[in-house]
Every structure is written in C-alpha cells, then in structure tokens.
Amino acid sequence: MTSEKEIIDQLKSGDVKAMEPLMTMHKDYVYTIIIQMVKLSSVAQELTQDVFVKVFKKIDTYGEKSKFTTWLYTITYRTCLNYLEKKKIIFNMTEIAGEDDYTDVDELNYKDEEIVNPLEKYEEVEKQKVIWDAIDAIPQQQGIVIALHYLQQFSVKEIADLMTVPENTIKTHLFRGRNAMREFLRKYFSQEELL
Amino acid sequence: MSDHLNFDEIFRIVNKSPESLETGRYAHFRSCTKCQREYKAQLASDFTLKGIKPKTAPASVVKQVLVQLSGMESINIKEKTDWVFLIAIILLFTIGSWFVFSGKAISYLQEYTSQVVPEKQEIKNLEFLDSIKDKVPDFNFKFELPDINWGNIYLALGIFVGVFYMLLDRKISQHYKVHKT
C-alpha cells in the first residue's frame, strides 16, 4: 500500500490519480469535521470536494515539516469558516436543526472490519449514532474540538494553532463538551455503561 | 477561593492520572467527592469518545473531485515551457541592456539622432499660437522635448516586464495546475 508521503510526492508531480488513495484515507474525517461546522450534509459534501480540490491545487505549498493532517484540517477549517462568513446573514446554525440536517443511519454505516457479528455491528452503529447525536447536541465549537481531538488525536496545542485561539479556550471547550455529552448520554446509557 | 481542582487540573488527570497532581492537591482530590465526581464524569466521556468513528462521506465525493481535477489536468501547461519563456525574457533584457549601455550603441544613437533630429526641437511659427501669445504675453509658449535618458527607460521597461510576468504567472498558476515534465 502506498504511504502518505509517496502519495504527496506523486501529487506534487501533478499526478491526479494519487488523489484517490488520499481521499480514501481522509474523506470521512474531513467530511465529519465539516458537517460538525455546517450541519447540512449536502453542503458538507460540496465543501469536502472543495477541500480536496484545494489540496491538489496547493500541495506545492505544503512543507513537510508539519503533519499533513494539520495542514489538511487547516484548509478544512478555513474553507468552512469562509462558507459560514459568506452565509451568516441568511444562515443561522441554531435554527436549522431539521430532519435533513442530521446525519442519517446510512452515513453511519461504518466500515469496521473487526465487527463481523451482525448484532454486534448493529449495536456498534447504534452506539455511534447516539454518540454523534450527543456531539451534535452540544454547542458547535465544543463539538468541533471534540471531533478534532478524538478523531484525529490532535493535541490541545495543535487544535489551538489550527483554529488560531488560545490553548485554554480549547481546553475549556473540551472540558465543557465532555460534561455536556455526559449529560446527554445519561439518557441512553446506564450508570455502569457510562463508567 | 475554592480548594477544588480547577478544570486545568482535572484536564491533566484525565490525560494522565490523579497521581500526577502535586502532593497537596492529590490529598485534596482523595478526600473531595465533588472533585472525584467531576473527574469520573470527564473520564467516562473521554472513554466513550475514544471509540468514535467518523461519519461516512458519500462515495460520490471522490468521483466528483476526480472529475474536477481531470478537467484541470487537460490544460497541461508544461513547466519547462514556462522556464524557457522566463529565461528568454531575461536573456533578451540582458542583451538589450548591454547594447544600450555599451559605448558603441550610445555613440551610434547620438550620431543617428543628430542627423535626423536637431538637438532640441521647438515648435515655432504657428499662427494660432502667436495669436494666443499676444493675448497672454506673460505665458511661456516655448515647447521643448525633455532630455530623455533612454537607458533608464529601458531599465524601467525591463523591470516592468519582469513584474508583469511574475503577476501573470502567479495568476495563471492559481487557475491551472502546472505540470512538471
């Protein structure tokens, strides 16, 4: 299997085909972060495409001193911010939570090869759905920070650099987000399951 | 001020362990049910969240991106051509500069211009100007061509061409992927 570095080298030499394995690696993560920010799956899909087109156009500017994921998520975050800035007059994120805006079960069809038992797989899908419902229910900034921290294993400093905010702000979002999630999950899980 | 662990300390013990606290703070943690409850709540959420997986992006995303990018590829501007063009401009500019600043060129130009054009041109004997002259006697109507340093003009043009080329190149690069050959 081609490594990420080899893929990046291929992209730098203008090989479009190298985008396919790169997107296979990152598209779900990028999409998840975007949907956390914009909440609409149709918009998230478009912005995910935009992000990868930008990656291809700007790959020459990627210096290999930093992690590729940090660079990728900086592009992702800024693309979302630009979108939200453009739409802020007619786009109020707190009022759009309709049926179409939440991820449906199809999107939670995880490719977890370790789970072969259909019941276990179903339970895992349900569990993931509940967790994502909880993340969707907490304030948006907290949800984004949680997604970056737990999906990408970004440190507090990395997230702070990416979002250009102080580290303490990120810590506060994580802290409050985890508390808010806990309150939400109480409805679904027993005390034992939560501990 | 409360003795309870602040969020920074709880944050740290969730990532490490309660033993990572300073001795006094750890003693407080051991005896304080509120801090322990807060810690357990954070730890439980942390544990739950460690198992999250990303949502699945629609499969069409990959296809759409590849379609967009293959359109870009078909333009296929060669970087080599780009460099040849830049070198050609620099070479032309260098030869031109040498020609202008070398003594031979200047003496040739001086000789040529002295044959064709008098040293300074004046526009004279225009009747309508004379009539205006009479009306405004204090105004100087003598038109003279300014002394032009052609070397500086050539240099300025060269710089202008260079800057223009860079701007154009940058603009083109924004739209089309330049392929290395």
Q: Which of B45, B47, B66 would you mutate first to test chain A, the one with the most A CBs within 10 A?
A: B45
Identify which has the larger pLDDT, B112 or A33. A33
Number of CB pairs, chain A paired with chain B, less than 8 A apart: 123
Minimal Cβ distance to A14: which of B40, B65, B177: B177
Identify which has the larger pLDDT, B35 or A100. B35
At residue B180, the pLDDT reads 41
Where in chain A are the domains?
Answer: 1-101, 109-195
Q: Based on the number of CB atoms within 10 Å of its own CB, is B8 exposed (0-12), middle (13-18) or buried (19 or more)?
A: exposed
Q: Does A153 touch chain B (CB under 8 A)?
A: no
C-alpha distance from B18 to closest chain A C-alpha (Å): 16
Helix/strand/coil percent split, chain B, to 5: 70, 5, 30
Write the pLDDT tens digit of every residue in A144-161: 889 999 988 899 999 988
Q: Are A75 and A49 in contact (CB under 8 A)?
A: no
At residue A51, the pLDDT reads 95
Question: DSSP characters for B130-168?
Answer: HHHHHH-TTS----BPPP--HHHHHHHHHHHHHHHHHHH
Chain B positions in Cβ-Cβ contact with residue A52 (cut-off 8 Å): 61, 65
Q: Which residues pair with B78 in a beta bridge?
A: B179
Write the pLDDT tens digit of every residue in A88-101: 634 333 332 323 33
Identify which has the larger pLDDT, A8 or A109. A8
What pTM did the predictor assign? Answer: 0.62
Fold of the A109-195 domain: Arc Repressor Mutant, subunit A (1.10.10)
Rounded Cα distance between A54 and A49, Å, is 9
Q: Which residues pair with B77 in a beta bridge?
A: B178
Rounded Cα distance between B148 and B156, Å, is 13
Identify which has the larger pLDDT, A189 or B39. B39
Contacts of range A55-59, beta carbons closer than 8 Å, 24 or more positions apart: A55/A11, A55/A19, A55/A22, A56/A11, A56/A16, A56/A19, A56/B65, A56/B69, A56/B72, A56/B177, A57/B174, A57/B177, A59/A8, A59/A11, A59/A12
From A111, A105, A125, A107, select the one nearest A35 (Cα to Cα): A107
SS3 (DSSP) at B178: strand
Are the Cβ atoms of B65 and A109 closer than 8 angstroms? no
ipTM: 0.74
- The nearest alpha carbon in chain B to A195 belongs to B44
Are the Cβ atoms of A53 and B69 closer than 8 angstroms? yes
Fold agreement (A1-101, A109-195): no
- Give the Å distances, CA to CA, from A35 to A90, B140, B162: 18, 75, 45
Cα atoms in the Cβ-side hemisphere of radius 13 Å centred on A134: 26
For chain A positions 121-150, those within 8 Å of chain B (CB to CB) are 127-128, 131-132, 135, 146-147, 149-150
Average pLDDT value for residue range A5-25: 87
Q: Which of A9, A11, A12, A16 would you mutate first to test chain B, the one with the most B CBs within 10 A?
A: A16
Residue B179, pLDDT > 60, answer: no
Fold of the A1-101 domain: Rna Polymerase Sigma Factor; Chain: A (1.10.1740)
Rounded Cα distance between A166 and A161, Å, is 8
At residue A63, the pLDDT reads 82
Give me the phi and psi of B54, to 5 degrees please: -70, 155
At residue A37, the pLDDT reads 86
Q: Please give the sequence-ordered ranges of beta strands (E in DSSP) within chain B, or none if there are none.
A: 77-78, 178-179
At residue B175, the pLDDT reads 54
